[in-house]
Amino acid sequence: MENQKNNEKTARENLLREGETLKGTAIKGYDFDKGIDYKEIMGSFSTTGFQASHLSKAIEITNKMIKDKAFIYLGYTSNLVSSGLRDIFRYLVKHKKVNVVVTTAGGIEEDIIKCLGDFVLGDFKAQGAELRKKGINRIGNIFVSNSLYVKFEQFVQPILEELYQEQKKTNKIFTPSDIVWKLGEKINDEKSIYYWAWKNNIRVYCPALTDGAIGDNIYFFKFKHPDFIVDVAEDAKRLNDTTIGLKKSGLMILGSGVIKHHILNANMLRNGADYAVYINTAQEFDGSDSGATPDEAVSWGKIIPNAESIKVYGDATILFPILVASTFASEK
């Protein structure tokens, strides 16, 4: 009996100990008894906790970038252009909401290819062997007919020829951003991100231009013109130079890999960005830059120590439309 009492006393002391009284934001969600108010629903994210509150912080930081008239670097991976986010990127470039874009080869070519035909909703579980027989490429649950890449080659090869003839005539060596510039001009389609980038004089940098269908086209082109050159180094200089002397620098990076590091590395040359919003699903356990948090970037001088920054863990196809609706698209 005595043992039972001691056990109870010990358990109570361990389990029912008093804690400090907490002060701060109370956790609560949206009350649907008030009806449906999307602005209020998004506002409730700040008190919801978990990644909802991180998204709320990302919205707050983005609005500060806008208010501070920061020079905004937008980075996104190619899969996001495969998705419907392409139309949101087009909106941001069309309305001059961002100053510089950095993406991968797929992020260039798939915007142009969508001007030549539609991508359609498919299935993550579709069998690769069956799709291959039909000439259908799968990007997650999005299907793309290989015929569109044939059309893309027919569009791109004359442009490469034009650039090559100018190279021969003037000795000018074109950069990846020059090629993107020319693609945007030639596609002449208001649905295109890069049409608007060309029209609004917004540079688009693609450090891995050869990693995709554009690279395949350059590969085939060089069989005919082995002396054709693309100057990657000049684009690195151009991008790095944009950071020098900025009053405020803001980063919006969706996804990771080369686009993330390219933007961060450029901002290291000004001793770090003032604002940073990351949206990706990468983890940091393996030491990759993809999974690295903003605080790791501070250690390198890529983000300043007193910067306002946040990483939101999640799918950008869900999160980014909410962020844009609460920031760039809500500007008066």
Q: Which residues are catalytic?
A: 302
Compute how many other C-beta atoms are within 10 angstroms of the C-beta atom of residue 12. 10
User: d(Cα 56, Cα 28) in Å, to the nearest integer?
Assistant: 14
Listed in sequence order, the residues at least 6 apart from 208 whose beta carbon sits closer than 8 Å to its beta carbon are 104, 105, 258
Listed in sequence order, the residues at least 6 apart from 91 whose beta carbon sits closer than 8 Å to its beta carbon are 97, 324, 328, 329
Question: In this structure, is the dihedral angle defined by the CA atoms of residues 238, 241, 243 and 246, taken in order, positive or negative?
Answer: negative
Parallel, antiparallel, or unpaired for β 136-139 and 142-145?
antiparallel
DSSP 169-236: HH-PPBPHHHHHHHHHHHH--TT-HHHHHHHTT-EEE-TTTTSSHHHHHHHHHHHH-TT--B-HHHHH
Would you call 139 helix, strand, or coil by DSSP?
strand
**CA proximity to 24, closest of 59, 53, 60, 63:** 53
Task: Give the pair of three-digit tokens for residue 155.
Answer: 């569009």
| Region at 200 (left for phi over 0; alpha for psi -120 to 50; beta for the rest) | alpha
Listed in sequence order, the residues at least 6 apart from 177 whose beta carbon sits closer than 8 Å to its beta carbon are 203, 204, 205, 206, 235, 238
**CA proximity to 241, closest of 208, 269, 204:** 269
Alpha carbon 174 to its chain's center? 25
